[in-house]
């Protein structure tokens, strides 16, 4: 993979902006989990260009080919057990221990949650597109945390509807409570850190735009220019797992 260089002075300047804030919002895309072995989604080499991924991201496919779709997601769950949070996830967990932080993530892998638990970090996490490891009923939307094999087409204990992964497919609305919580948090933050996202998926990308409209300081970490780059005060070009630990170290040094 081509190495993208970044300036440590630029990281230091971004850290000063965060250190001077009352609270922090972090808007996360698939680039954060790339180093854990999970492909990105929307860029030129992202998983969405795979016809199978595109097909199984559609609500309509669940109606027309339910068995194949549930088998595919069960395989995704199995593979998820083999990956782990990377240095970027762990650095964000450390940052959350230094400054009150609200995380809004478009990722469904749950790796950030695992890093926060490992670090004993208390932070709000709003998973806009759901969590792959959870189940919910396709009919009544009731969440079920019991361990089931989706390929066996399990049924909801409440209504008898089909259980499915608790992820948002194209053609579906975001969970209202999660979206409202994310919106509320981004009306309060003073600094917004944008990590590994193209800024192309809506309505999620309305959140950094909301922050920018309020005069919030935006900081971007990405390997490439995005639709959000021009609105950011600090743009750090590089991989999240390389930059975030340096950012966390800078913040820690400012505490002492």
Two tokens at 209?
A: 């735009």
d(CA 124, CA 24): 11
| E strand or H helix at 148 | none
Q: In what order do the strands lie in the sheet with 24-28?
A: 124-127, 101-105, 24-28, 191-195, 217-222, 234-237
| E strand or H helix at 137 | strand 130-137
Which member of 129, 138, 234, 239 is catalytic?
129
In 138-190, DSSP assigns E strands to 143-144, 163-167
Burial of residue 241, with CB atoms counted within 10 A of its CB: 0-12 exposed, 13-18 middle, 19 or more buried: buried
Active site residue 129: yes
DSSP secondary structure string for all residues of 210-243: HHHHTTPEEEEEESS--TTGGG-SEEEES-HHHH
Active site residues: 129
């Amino acid at each position: 993979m081509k190495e993208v260089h970044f300036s440590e002075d630029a990281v230091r300047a971004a850290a000063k902006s965060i250190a001077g804030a009352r609270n922090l919002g972090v808007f996360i895309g698939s680039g954060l989990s790339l180093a854990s072995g999970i492909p990105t989604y929307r860029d030129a080499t992202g998983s969405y260009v795979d016809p199978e991924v595109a097909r199984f991201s559609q609500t309509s496919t669940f109606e027309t080919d339910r068995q194949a779709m549930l088998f595919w997601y069960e395989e995704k769950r199995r593979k998820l057990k083999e990956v782990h949070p990377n240095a970027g996830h762990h650095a964000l967990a450390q940052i959350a221990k230094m400054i009150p932080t609200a995380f809004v993530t478009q990722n469904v892998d749950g790796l950030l949650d695992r890093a926060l638990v490992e670090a004993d970090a208390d932070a709000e996490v709003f998973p806009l597109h759901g969590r792959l490891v959870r189940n919910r009923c396709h009919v009544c939307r009731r969440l079920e945390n019991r361990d089931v094999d989706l390929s066996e087409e399990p049924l909801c204990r409440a209504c008898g509807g089909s259980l499915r992964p608790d992820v948002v497919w194209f053609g579906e609305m975001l969970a209202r409570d999660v979206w409202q919580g994310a919106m509320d948090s981004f009306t309060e933050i003073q600094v917004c850190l944008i990590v590994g996202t193209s800024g192309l998926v809506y309505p999620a990308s309305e959140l950094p735009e909301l922050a920018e409209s309020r005069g919030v300081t935006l900081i971007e970490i990405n390997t490439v220019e995005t639709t959000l780059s021009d609105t950011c005060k600090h743009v750090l070009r590089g991989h999240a797992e390389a930059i975030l630990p340096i950012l966390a170290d800078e913040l820690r040094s400012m505490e002492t």
